[in-house]
Structure 1
Amino acid sequence: MRPKLLLTALIVLLLSALIAVKRINHSSQATHNIEKSSNNNFSLFEAVPIEDAIGPESFAFDPLGEGPYTGISDGRIIKWQQNQQSWINFAITSPERSLEIRILRLMFEPFVSLTDSVSQPRNYCLHSKDISECPPYSHKLWDPCVGLMSCACGSHILCEYEGYAEISTEFTTGIAGRDGCEGPHDHDQMEHICGRPLGLGFINTTGDLYIADAYMGLMVVGPNGGIATKVATQVQGVPLGFTNGLDIDQRSGVVYFSDSSSQYQRRNHISVILSGDKTGRLMKYDPENNQVTVLLNNLSFPNGVALSQNSHYILVADTTNCRVMRYWLQTSKAGTFEVFAQLPGFPDNIKTSPRGGFWVAIHSRRERVLEWVLSYPWIGNALLKLPFDIMRAYSYLAKWRGSGLAVRLSEQGEVLEIFEEKSGNRWTSIAEVEETRWNFMDWVNNNAFCRQV
């Protein structure tokens, strides 16, 4: 076959795999159970958009029940303020970024008698490269540190100035010095600089937030936010190439997390699937001894993770193979690995349900042509060598061909119920689903989350 004809055939094959009209065969047992359990009452949900960025990937509520918090494409972790019905900045993961503190209100209380009178409260900005180094108190000051080095510490201001007065503040955080990171667009070319927070999880006893950043590794930030600190960037001499999902054992403080690939970064995640890459790992971090241990390796795109309620096992999404795997931590099966559930599409994050079992977000259904392509790794590798941006092609086509859904599985891996739109107002992708006593929430379309109303 001529090179041009071969190239054309491969391109047609790729497009067919991405936009095939026919769905996966519904005669399989797992899919059959899903269809019987469908629930499509989407009128009960409202979308809350994300401004100035895209790509909410997972979310978490803090120990006080506030939030949710989510990481977005420009490297920020933002928090939902229910009383204000808006998002505020909480933290960033890139050490190259500085944090801008905007003072909203100043209340001056004279500490000593000075000749100068107190000026009217006004807004100003303070900058710090490492807020985590600030002590948990504020210095005394009269004038708000004009022209001097200063930094913010929790809800106080640390400032060096020759005047004296006591100051208390209320402020929100904004991001400064972020050339190329701002704006409601795809930040994939800047992710390695801006950071890309994915999995999130709070320690209930301390309020610390652990973060799986796709490029920065496993990180943690205190309950007041700021710049996150790196916990692990490599394990057994192998760098974390695509840190993804995490979950926390609240009894021990151990953090379980996945590294999806050591060969491909997040911005090339389609390559992980098409190439048949098997360099993924499931790991645990023990804060007691600051050690990271590899539980499983040679995995195909390990994604979201979820610990069982009794901590006997942990689930990990096997995205490439459209299934969820179970790794036993305790009982006589400890150390063994098995298939937990086969799914009709590509699983993303996993969350426990308060009604029992687990919610699995399925990013999109796997269609027949794509299933065939993935069964022959040489085809996927050939597609990756074509002279065009496969990630861009996938992103464009997913906007009008995506078909996300959410499945609740029992503790035995059986399908209990599903949320999937069939009335025409489809959800192009779903990254995570969480159910609470008050509402039910899930991420949709990479730029908003939906909540039950």
Structure 2
Amino acid sequence: MKVSGVFGGVCLLFSVYCAVDPFGHSPMSSFPGFDVFKVEMPAWSETPIENDSENLLQKSEIKFLNQLQGPESLAFDPSGRGPYTGVADGRILFWNGVDWTDFAYTSPNRSDGLCDPKPSILDYLKNEHICGRPLGLRFDRKNGDLYIADAYFGLMKVGREGGLATSLATEAEGIPLGFTNDLDVDDEGNVYFTDSSTRYRRRNFLQLVFTAENSGRLLKYDPKTRETSVLVRNLQFPNGVSLSKDGSFIVYCESSKGRLSKYWLKGKKGGTSEVMAVLPGFPDNVRTNEEGEFWVAVHCRRTRYAHFMGEHTKVRRFFLKLPIPLRIHYLLQIGGRPHAVVVKYSPEGKLVKILEDQHGKVVRAVSEVEEKGGKLWMGSVLMQFVSVYDL
């Protein structure tokens, strides 16, 4: 048999294998008929190049190692107590200064051992829709209520006594919330929050990253009417949300596009949205400090690979059909290793400060940055600890 014939036969078998994917190695094997979307990004040359050459995040203190699994959001109550954080098994925990205690939970279905502690964060994924997965947390500074963005149960609230949270919103304009992610509360009790996708649930967030689909929404819950309205639609993985210090606008992240945007609530621009800043990588949550600046947790820097794939949908669709394990796609996306980046922006969108752990030696991943008492408290949905950096 000629070499060309052998090569042709191998190519044919490989094509059939990719099309059938008998062992489910493709990251999209559970989503037949999936689509991919172009990510509108600036040219690669416009990606911010500022960096922290000293890797200052490596000076962070690791706290509560192996006491927490996936602490995404960190919040302090109006009295300054805490932090409070939501973890992988669906609970919200409170640090009382001595140890972690149960404070609240989002699901009433915590029986039969399904939500009991497990060895790994990944072990909770298959039951997240049963146990709940609290992500963004915010306190109402007036009455002490804690608002919760639960990825599966929607927008929720629990009083100062804790316990089972009450559901506030599970849909908007007749479309169910698919991946409730983060939130903030204004002085009137209005809640602004993100629904990252109506097609992919939180346990499939990597599929959302790879496809960059655009069903995400920025929403508002009005406590007086108990209605939820859509402020911005067709977003690609909207994530963190934070009000400006004066309450004139909201800042929200789009993880797929790697950018911050403003949605104006007041003034001549009220009801409109605009780009605030292009980020050096893919953001998670954003939080406002007492000076009105915005701390953004960046999961990792944008790589040339991720930039290329974001622009070229045909290539990305082909790669996603190959029997390549999800972990490999993820490592390619982040440049081979986890590495946390934290950036601070002025209200005008100017980069003020950048902190990194470029090699992921201490702070491998960060989901949120909360500034309190001259320190940065950093949580991560992927880690089993909290990082604290002394400013």
Among 90, 114, 118, the residue aligned to 1:183: 118
Name the CA distance, whole Å, in 2 between partners of 1:386 and 1:324: 33
Q: In structure 2, list runs of 5 or more residues that go unmatched.
A: 1-10, 28-41
Question: What is the SS of the residue equivalent to 1:31?
Answer: coil
Match of 1:88 in 2: 101
Do the aligned partners of 2:44 and 2:307 also contact (CA within 8 Å) in 1?
no
Q: Where in structure 2 are the equivalents of 1:373-388 lying within 5 Å?
A: 373-387=309-323
Change (3 A) 1:399 1:414: closer
Question: What is the SS of the residue equivalent to 1:179?
Answer: coil
- Aligned partner of 2:133: which letter? R
Task: Confirm or deny that 1:257 pairs with 2:193.
Answer: yes
Match of 1:229 in 2: 166
Q: Where in structure 2 are the equivalents of 1:39-438 lying within 5 Å?
A: 40-42=55-57, 44-49=59-64, 51=66, 54-82=69-97, 84=98, 86-97=99-110, 177-185=112-120, 186=122, 187-249=124-186, 251-387=187-323, 390=326, 394=330, 401-422=337-358, 425=361, 427-438=363-374
Match of 2:12 in 1: 2
- Aligned partner of 1:450: which letter? S
- Aligned partner of 1:330: which letter? K
Q: Structure 1 residue 52: deviation in Å?
A: 6.0
Question: What is the SS of the residue equivalent to 1:198?
Answer: strand
Do the aligned partners of 1:242 and 1:259 also contact (CA within 8 Å) in 2?
yes
Name the CA distance, whole Å, in 2 between partners of 1:27 and 1:378: 19
* Structure 1, 418-427 or 305-314: larger mean CA deviation: 418-427
Name the CA distance, whole Å, in 1 between partners of 2:296 and 2:255: 11
Q: Structure 1 residue 390: deviation in Å?
A: 2.2
Name the CA distance, whole Å, in 1 between partners of 2:314 and 2:89: 34
Change (3 A) 1:80 1:380: farther
Change (3 A) 1:231 1:415: same
* TM-score, normalised via structure 2 length: 0.83
Aligned-residue RMSD, C-alpha: 3.1
Name the CA distance, whole Å, in 1 between partners of 2:16 and 2:302: 25
Q: What is the identity percentage for the equivalent residue pairs of Structure 1 and Structure 2? A: 41
Name the CA distance, whole Å, in 1 between partners of 2:303 and 2:149: 30
Q: Structure 1 residue 87: deviation in Å?
A: 1.4
Considering only CA atoms, is the larger Rg found in Structure 1 or Structure 2? 1
- Aligned partner of 1:203: which letter? D
- Equivalenced residues, count: 360
Question: What is the SS of the residue equivalent to 1:88?
Answer: strand
Do the aligned partners of 2:331 and 2:337 also contact (CA within 8 Å) in 1?
no
Q: Structure 1 residue 387: deviation in Å?
A: 4.7
Q: Structure 1 residue 179: deviation in Å?
A: 2.3
Q: Structure 1 residue 226: deviation in Å?
A: 0.6
Question: What is the SS of the residue equivalent to 1:428?
Answer: coil
Question: What is the SS of the residue equivalent to 2:48?
Answer: helix
Q: Structure 1 residue 77: deviation in Å?
A: 0.6
- Aligned partner of 1:213: which letter? D
* Structure 1, 297-306 or 423-432: larger mean CA deviation: 423-432
* Structure 1, 386-395 or 62-71: larger mean CA deviation: 386-395
The Cα offsets for residues 392-434 of structure 1, whole Å up to 9 and x where unpaired, read as 8638997961121000011111111111024772532110111
Q: Structure 1 residue 208: deviation in Å?
A: 0.8
Match of 2:48 in 1: 31
Name the CA distance, whole Å, in 1 between partners of 2:283 and 2:125: 21
Name the CA distance, whole Å, in 1 between partners of 2:294 and 2:200: 28
Name the CA distance, whole Å, in 1 between partners of 2:273 and 2:152: 27
* TM-score, normalised via structure 1 length: 0.73
Change (3 A) 1:293 1:48: same
Question: What is the SS of the residue equivalent to 1:207?
Answer: coil
